[in-house]
Structure 1
């Protein structure tokens, strides 16, 4: 004779199964959205969306288990605990690609080229990037200032010039936050993406001016 789980247990397991399926759908949707906004030639950038897609399928399979079946419920709970973080990661990847995204091509000491997808703004007659001081691509452009910017399919040589002036920094990053959806969301919450929200904290980002290679070398603004 087959034993049945108590009604309370069945309700709990059924609720967990529904939650698992819901998380799977969200992960699939987030992963698919992030996947679709990436040009396919930048395959290395698809790691997070593909993780969302894979885990979404896995969660959906778990969610299809019989609602009264108790085996695997701990596994479902564990994966559900991980799901919100992957949903957030996929959403951030997607938001990063909402708006204009260019490709910065830097080179290292061995002349190996690296492509990085970044936001860009036009300000005071030239283009600007925002760089975290610890970023590897920023360290490469400090060593090799001549870089290539691929914008709307047009590749052009630029000389990258970090600018430390506070007034310029504030103008550039305020404009960048207003241009991009993620920046506007942060501002709506009363926060900043690039500048420290606490005056006592060190500024870890710097605006980088992109001078055309045929422009005479200059410093500052």
Structure 2
């Protein structure tokens, strides 16, 4: 979930998510609503397709080829652009503003392809954590829009629990890290002298 953040950055990151939780959820829910309202291909095609969008689309498809999952790319470039523009570089789970490298477009369920009704934009660390969760292994039994709603509500519950569990200790994370660096083996003092190395 944290990726390369140090202890102090982790605490600030969680504090920011917690502080902006309500505003973030409201924004994310409105973006999800827009995505589920339907896609107008003719309207999207009337918008200018720039060189920058071509580069971004090639990068997305190239990434899938590199990971040998290009056969799972189901959406066309206009659907993909509509998705990216609607998300505005914000997580659909927390509404958190994401910087380059933090944002992942991935499937809601590991069994699905990359399409307008089957994908989500989330924090890369959260995406890696989600990949190990059995809830998202298969979409069998799910239909239509409920896939995205299920994932978002499940991940929000997990994040809220994590925020609640870590809140009392977050302020001490930096202090604990400094203490650990100063004395990596505090348990050594409890050992008999002959066993200390």
Please report the TM-score for the alignment, with normalisation by the length of structure 1. 0.24
Higher strand share: 1
Please report the TM-score for the alignment, with normalisation by the length of structure 2. 0.26
- Indicate the structure (1 or 2) with the bigger Cα radius of gyration: 1
